[in-house]
Chain A
């Protein structure tokens, strides 16, 4: 089934709906947040077919949704949100993705661009030295079996106890860097082996560490609460649970594939494999997923320590502290309460390439952020811009407290490699004052700005739709990637 524009109903200026009658098996409509010009690009791949498939999941409520940075994935589209009824609705590993708790963390310094400008190249190189990147690069932490289980149970708190951060870091992390439902015994030995030397590493693909500066501030009050000011130097970290998370997803997809007939579940795509959360298989997966999410938060905490080390190596004590603004996941499933048809309901929210965007007064947030809403971190691509947004009451009401997660790919990796001359791009970026330290030219070409949608349009959509509000724009100065 392919989806065309005629099948979509325009609900609002930035919101489109594919009615549930569009294809057999859809239990709810499918909704798309997009400016019309983004929608045209979205219709070019199979994102919306995949979104219609998600709408067939047993127990799904309200609608399957995609954010404006959506692109086709496998099973779920990337940029997707789906909530299922708790506890008997399904949980689907495909709705979280293989990189469990892939997410973003933003550090803020007390220095301004003017103070670091002449040392940007040196800082980028030092970041590259301190933060292992690329395939097969292990980190300096080699976890014993006992410590692995502690990481899986305690998440970022393990790193803080070991001296790789401060208690304040935990306060400024989603779920304080630990999902309490984790059970290390539900994570396979193979997954643990893969993760043993991967703490403190970013990996490859679209993962990176980016030094930036605060450009435009859109909302003074929110920026002030978040501690952002013009020209301030920031560091953005984007990575997840590495091989450990990939293995957890692989292991449980196989288990669910075998278990689905027992629960009478038939789906249009095997990659949507799922079981009721309340089933033994669902419970086991949820516990393993929480453990992998904890590993990811611990990973970003250790990377934070590496970034702080690099910062101090370059600027010494006069560089001041790198404080944590926030850390938020964009590949995860969580049990939350939301309004569905006017009633408060406990649901299992799957976010695959979508960021939690809780509005004001949410108790988990640091006190200073509560009047504003949760910080939402949107990485752009090398050479463009990243954004800090804030969650809103509207996102709570409309999109299960979720919004976009990035610019969203536009070109395939092969397509990008065909179009991009990596050495030339690196020179051009350097001329713009952006220093890229990368493991390969191939990686640079695949992640070139041309491969991505216009992040400004993506953010414009979610801002106008009200499912996040713009706070500040960050300009890249140095990028470290595998």
Chain B
């Protein structure tokens, strides 16, 4: 389970992600990004003809999340595809391996220039929920 809330930002897109687990939090970021670059595309069945594997090591959860989403964004631009499927093959606080699957996008609706580290802080709150802010530069 996860939630994605849109918050105010003068120029860019600022979100608050909340989830039951680290993995779900990453999934929330993945879904939120897809919904920005190609709204609705991942609500349709995905004949995933483009598949990629992402492997990252980072210093902590926060950096791992931003680096993961940045890699997905780079691959989306490189393959001109939207990646809707996500399977985590390995994950801990500073390392992940995931496979993603997608299809050609025929153009994006929004140009996300980057997934920023600004305000990002992956943490477990007092209720045990995982949360972070996430700001996309558009």
Q: Which of B12, B70, B74 contacts A74 (CB 8 A)?
A: B12
Whole-angstrom CA separation of A127 from B42 in the bound complex = 34
The answer to whether B74 and A270 have CB atoms under 8 Å apart is no
Is residue B25 contacting chain A, with contact meaning CB distance below 8 A?
no
Closest to A246 in B: B113
Is residue A193 contacting chain B, with contact meaning CB distance below 8 A?
yes
Chain A residues with Cβ below 8 Å from B115 are 250
The answer to whether A270 and B12 have CB atoms under 8 Å apart is no
Interface string of A360-382 (1 = CB under 8 A from B): 00000000000000000000000
Chain A residues with Cβ below 8 Å from B107 are 134-137
The answer to whether B11 and A73 have CB atoms under 8 Å apart is yes
CB distance from A425 to the nearest CB of B (A): 19
Q: Which of A247, A257, A411 contacts B63 (CB 8 A)?
A: A257
The answer to whether A412 and B11 have CB atoms under 8 Å apart is yes
Closest to B11 in A: A409
The answer to whether B118 and A269 have CB atoms under 8 Å apart is yes
Chain B residues with Cβ below 8 Å from A214 are none
Q: A74-B118, A249-B114, A482-B111 are in contact. List 12 more A-B contacts (CB 8 A).
A: A73-B11, A73-B118, A75-B117, A98-B113, A98-B114, A136-B105, A137-B107, A203-B111, A250-B70, A254-B67, A270-B63, A270-B120
B-to-A contact residues, CB < 8 Å = 6, 8-13, 59, 62-63, 67, 70, 74, 77-78, 80, 105-111, 113-120, 135, 137-138
- Beyond A246-B113, A270-B120, whether A413 also contacts B59 by CB under 8 A is no
Q: Which of A45, A243, A411 contacts B77 (CB 8 A)?
A: A243
Q: Which of A99, A135, A254 contacts B108 (CB 8 A)?
A: A135
Closest to B67 in A: A254
The A/B interface has a contact count, at CB < 8 Å, of: 95
Whole-angstrom CA separation of A455 from B114 in the bound complex = 27
Whole-angstrom CA separation of A289 from B118 in the bound complex = 21
Q: List 23 A-B contacts (CB under 8 A).
A: A71-B10, A72-B9, A73-B137, A74-B12, A74-B135, A75-B118, A98-B113, A135-B108, A136-B105, A190-B74, A194-B77, A203-B111, A205-B138, A243-B77, A246-B113, A247-B77, A250-B114, A253-B117, A254-B70, A269-B119, A414-B8, A442-B109, A482-B111
Q: Residue among B62, B108, B113 with the most chain A CB within 10 A?
A: B113
Is residue A258 contacting chain B, with contact meaning CB distance below 8 A?
yes
CB distance from A169 to the nearest CB of B (A): 27
Is residue A390 contacting chain B, with contact meaning CB distance below 8 A?
no
Whole-angstrom CA separation of A281 from B137 in the bound complex = 24
State which residues 234-256 of A face B: CB under 8 Å. Answer: 243, 246-247, 249-250, 253-254
The answer to whether B137 and A98 have CB atoms under 8 Å apart is yes
Interface size on A, residues (CB 8 A): 43
Chain A residues with Cβ below 8 Å from B59 are 257-258
CB distance from A254 to the nearest CB of B (A): 6
Q: Which of A71, A247, A257, A271 contacts B118 (CB 8 A)?
A: A271
Chain B residues with Cβ below 8 Å from A137 are 107
Q: Which of A72, A97, A134, A269 contacts B10 (CB 8 A)?
A: A72
Whole-angstrom CA separation of A45 from B59 in the bound complex = 31
The answer to whether A136 and B118 have CB atoms under 8 Å apart is no
The answer to whether A414 and B135 have CB atoms under 8 Å apart is no
Is residue A304 contacting chain B, with contact meaning CB distance below 8 A?
no
CB distance from B92 to the nearest CB of A (A): 18
Closest to B56 in A: A254
Is residue A389 contacting chain B, with contact meaning CB distance below 8 A?
no
Whole-angstrom CA separation of A440 from B110 in the bound complex = 11
Is residue A410 contacting chain B, with contact meaning CB distance below 8 A?
yes
Whole-angstrom CA separation of A135 from B109 in the bound complex = 7
Whole-angstrom CA separation of A98 from B115 in the bound complex = 10
CB distance from A173 to the nearest CB of B (A): 24
State which residues 11-35 of A face B: CB under 8 Å. Answer: none
Chain B residues with Cβ below 8 Å from A246 are 113-114
Is residue A450 contacting chain B, with contact meaning CB distance below 8 A?
no
Chain A residues with Cβ below 8 Å from B106 are 136
Closest to B10 in A: A71
CB distance from B68 to the nearest CB of A (A): 11
The answer to whether B137 and A74 have CB atoms under 8 Å apart is yes
Chain A residues with Cβ below 8 Å from B111 are 135, 203-205, 482
CB distance from A412 to the nearest CB of B (A): 6
The answer to whether B74 and A250 have CB atoms under 8 Å apart is yes
CB distance from B76 to the nearest CB of A (A): 10
Chain A residues with Cβ below 8 Å from B135 are 74
Is residue A273 contacting chain B, with contact meaning CB distance below 8 A?
yes
Whole-angstrom CA separation of A31 from B135 in the bound complex = 26
Q: Which of B12, B63, B77, B110 contacts A73 (CB 8 A)?
A: B12
